[in-house]
Amino acid sequence: GAPKREDYCLILSIVFIFVTGVKCKSDVSLNGRTVIVTGKAYFSSLSLSLCANTGIGKETALDMARRGARVVLACRSKDRAEAAVLDIRRKTSNNQVVFMHLDLASLKSVRAFAETFLKSEPQLHILINNAGVGLVGKTEDGFSMGVGVNHFGHFLLTNLLLERLKQCVPSRVVVLASETYRMVGLDFSKLSRTEPGHTNGFLDYAHSKLCNVLFARELSNRLEGTNVTCYSVHPGEHSITWLMLILVPVAALLFRDPEGGAQTSIHCAVQEGIERFSGRYFSDCRVREVVAHARDDAVARKLWEFSERMVGLSAD
């Protein structure tokens, strides 16, 4: 027979939950705590809204500021970031929101940011590695853009700030990954420096997201007993596949708004009682099991050691 009214209500409820997602329920205060949110991200012509000065990153920073934190927007674009700082200050009445320049496509810039931050900021409690790109091309250091920014830039940044995080425990690292990690296996040849035109922007992005998941896993293993915990998260973009990239108008309907997309990052940054899940992958504010190739500790350790060499943290 014809669908009943309650059937339509159920369908609408499912769609609403799918698009808006789950809200972080924690009301914990961050007074006296310092947070870094990294930013600037585009996926080709389709924005992923992972910027700290717009989209998911800005909503994450806004939430941190509402909780009373000192928030550092670590972004490439000075003008956009400073506009975001003013907007967040206005909305939260929190004047402890500042901009510091960071270009994750340049390891030199990452080192300069870390040096400036460590000299000027005595504390760091939460590092949110939010930025990500899905562009064809290469970084200043010769890596493919996706892997260079999404993995190597954040890998170096996290390592340079790790001692400060250990000094300010309990502290956390949140790494934005994506469900696209499922689409590829780890190929170390694709992590080395590359020539322009030899990468596929989307597959490079997926590869970098697998690196993010493995990075958080190995980081957790190395931080065991320190009271610094870390989590990889799937933000609010739903199943970005080649089909969604072709069907942009349809894909747009399946993207959560920035506030909804930020909820899992916020959850992993502030929710009490999730420390036992350090190193795990979260989506919709819940821990999720990852596919086999993303929970291989031997591969995660190999990726860490390889990454140390690539960013100049190892003498090998």
The residues annotated with a catalytic role in the active site are 205
Contact yes or no for 11/104 (Cβ under 8 A): no
Residues 268, 24: Cα–Cα separation, whole Å: 9
Strands across the sheet containing 126-129: 97-101, 70-75, 34-38, 126-129, 171-176, 228-234, 281-283, 286-288
Burial of 211 from C-beta contacts in 10 A (0-12 / 13-18 / 19+): buried
Q: How many CB atoms lie within 10 A of CB 275?
A: 13
Residues 71, 100: Cα–Cα separation, whole Å: 10
Residues 52, 84: Cα–Cα separation, whole Å: 8
285-292 — which CB contacts under 8 Å span 24+ positions? 285/22, 285/23, 285/24, 285/25, 286/22, 288/234, 290/181, 290/213, 291/181, 291/182
For the chain, helix, strand, coil in percent to 5 are 50, 15, 35
